[in-house]
């Protein structure tokens, strides 16, 4: 089994990412964010913690930070995904790093708390896609209310003693490594430097990295740099040479080859596609392994608005 450590973009709102997606298959992966899954239509199977969980229309599920999961649907499933980093709550709710939610489907319509939770998720999503003035503040406010309702509604446990310590140490190491790379990706980075910082042998860290991130250190670093380059291509008019330097690539050839390997097109072609198809469904990340279709901002906003009027 290949495990992918997914890099979640928080380019629109710090530590929050929302998207509407038509899902056929998503390979095994994990990420640092807590993920709320709401099934709008169809059926979905999620494989996690060595078991298969079936979701039907209207079901809701929480996936924990760094929880391996694989998603597949026999036909297709329409999902609203709300992802947020635990970092949002650490200042005023430090226990967040000890909370582990049960991965159990819940029908939100069956309780007042569930109905309120669903409404707040939809309102937060609407604010996210509308992008009106101060919308990031609104999204963060809703996130705290959503977390409060999750604690009330979803069975969870606190990871205790040796199991907690072992898991938290592992997650803390993953987080330290991920944060260090995120802060220093523009510079020359070597795995041997991180090994020294973690007081680990190069060989051990190399195995640890591949086991927990699902890719080699260099592949992860190149993907992060390409994600940053993609953002700059969309949101700035910087030249490719400038973007190359800002993202830590040693030269344009390296940027071009890495970008094309991850996204199937060159940076120049990608920028042109974005300019010509601003409101189209994002199919850039689709490949033969992951069969999924992320809806555009306008399409997502239309669907969320329809749900709020029901």
Dist. CA 135–CA 123, nearest whole Å = 11
Quick one: pLDDT at residue 66? 79
Quick one: pLDDT at residue 126? 97
The string of DSSP letters for 69-128 reads: EEEEEEEEEEEEEEEE-GGGGTTT-GGGGGEEE----EEGGGSHHHHHHHHHHHHHHHHH
Q: Please give the domain boundaries of the chain with CATH numbers for all domains.
A: 4-158+287-309 (2.60.120.280), 187-276 (1.10.10.60)
Strand partners, 39: 79
Quick one: pLDDT at residue 279? 43
Dist. CA 185–CA 188, nearest whole Å = 7
> Which two tokens mark 27?
């390979």
Number of Cβ within 10 Å of residue 19's Cβ equals 19
202 three-class SS: helix
Please report where in the chains the tokens 């609407």 appear, as a residue: 126
**What angle is formed at CA 216 by the lines to CA 265 and CA 48, rounded to 5 degrees?**
90
60 contacts 38 by C-beta, under 8 angstroms: yes
Which has the closest alpha carbon to 32: 64, 73, 78, 9? 64
Q: Which helix (H) or strand (E) holds 292?
A: strand 291-294
Predicted TM-score (pTM) of the model is 0.68
Cα separation values, 147 from 71, 79, 86, 279, Å: 23, 19, 10, 31
Quick one: pLDDT at residue 278? 47
Quick one: pLDDT at residue 3? 53
Quick one: pLDDT at residue 207? 92
- What are 84-125's pLDDT values in tens digits? 999 999 999 988 988 999 999 999 988 999 999 999 999 999
Quick one: pLDDT at residue 282? 42
146 contacts 36 by C-beta, under 8 angstroms: yes
What interhelical angle do 112-130 and 135-153 show, nearest 10? Answer: 160
- Please return the burial class of 18, using the count of CB atoms within 10 Å of its CB with bins 0-12, 13-18 and 19+: buried
Quick one: pLDDT at residue 22? 93
Quick one: pLDDT at residue 284? 36
Quick one: pLDDT at residue 172? 78
29 three-class SS: strand
Q: Which residues of the chain have pLDDT under 70?
A: 1-5, 160-165, 168, 276-290
């Amino acid at each position: 089994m290949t495990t992918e450590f997914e890099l979640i973009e928080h380019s629109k709102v710090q530590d929050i990412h929302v998207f509407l997606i038509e899902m056929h298959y998503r390979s095994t992966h994990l990420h640092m964010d807590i993920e709320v899954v709401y099934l709008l239509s169809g059926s979905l199977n999620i494989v996690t913690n060595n078991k298969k969980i079936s979701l039907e229309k209207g079901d809701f599920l929480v996936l924990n930070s760094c929880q391996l999961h694989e998603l597949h649907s026999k036909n297709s499933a329409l999902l609203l995904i709300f992802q947020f980093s635990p970092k949002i709550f650490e200042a005023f709710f430090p226990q967040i790093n000890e909370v582990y939610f049960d991965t159990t489907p819940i029908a939100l319509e069956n309780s007042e708390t569930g109905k309120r939770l669903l409404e707040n998720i939809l309102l937060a999503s609407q604010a996210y896609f509308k992008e009106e003035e101060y919308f990031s503040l609104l999204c963060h406010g809703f996130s705290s209310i959503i977390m409060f309702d999750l604690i009330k509604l979803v069975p969870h446990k606190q990871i205790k003693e040796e199991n907690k310590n072992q898991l938290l140490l592992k997650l803390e190491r993953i987080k330290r490594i991920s944060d260090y790379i995120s802060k220093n990706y523009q510079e020359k980075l070597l795995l041997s430097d991180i090994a020294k910082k973690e007081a680990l042998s190069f060989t051990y860290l190399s195995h640890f990295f591949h086991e927990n991130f699902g890719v080699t250190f260099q592949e992860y670093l190149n993907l992060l740099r390409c994600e940053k380059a993609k953002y700059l291509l969309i949101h700035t008019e910087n030249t490719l040479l400038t973007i190359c330097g800002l993202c830590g690539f040693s030269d344009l050839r390296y940027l071009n080859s890495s970008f094309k390997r991850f996204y199937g097109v060159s940076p120049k072609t990608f920028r042109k596609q974005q300019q010509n198809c601003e409101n189209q469904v994002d199919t850039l990340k689709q490949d033969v392994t992951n069969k999924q279709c992320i809806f555009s901002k306008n399409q997502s906003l239309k669907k969320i608005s329809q749900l709020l009027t029901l």
